[in-house]
């Protein structure tokens, strides 16, 4: 079986030599313990991606990674890539979105 190529927007970056931000790690730990989804926002270059990628790697957290961009303004593209992310994360058997009726 040939493995499907992983898209960059669906692949968690591997931070190298990232400084562990202990205080923010504790904030994330509390948020993750109380909610199944965490939405992180901030200005460009503030370290959002590095923080989450480093935290999930250091704590070996299995997560679905979806990096939004301007292309996600198109609803069809958004749901297409969300479906791809679910398939990568959960496998083909469990990644079926309910059919819209």
Per-residue pLDDT of 46-77, as tens digits, reads 999 999 999 999 889 888 888 888 999 999 99
- Count of domains for the chain: 1
Helix axis angle for 22-34 and 48-58, nearest 10°, is 70
Cα dihedral 70/74/78/79 (nearest 10): 180
Whether 98 maps to a domain, the answer reads no
Q: How confident is the model at residue 25 (pLDDT cuts 50, 70, 90)?
A: very high
This model's pTM is above 0.85:
no
**Position 46 in a domain:** yes
Answer whether residue 53 is part of any domain: yes
Domain span including residue 57: 8-70
Residue 3 lies in a domain: no
HSE at residue 74, side-chain half, CA atoms within 13 A, is 6
């Amino acid at each position: 079986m040939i493995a499907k190529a992983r898209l960059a927007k669906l692949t968690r970056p591997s931070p190298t030599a990232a400084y562990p931000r202990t205080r923010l790690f504790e904030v994330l730990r509390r948020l993750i313990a109380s909610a199944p989804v965490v939405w992180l926002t901030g200005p460009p270059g503030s370290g959002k991606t590095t923080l989450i990628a480093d935290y999930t790697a250091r704590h070996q957290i299995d997560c679905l990674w979806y990096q939004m961009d301007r292309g996600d303004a198109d609803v069809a593209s958004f749901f297409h890539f969300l479906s791809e992310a679910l398939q990568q994360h959960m496998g083909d058997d469990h990644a079926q979105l309910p059919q819209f009726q």
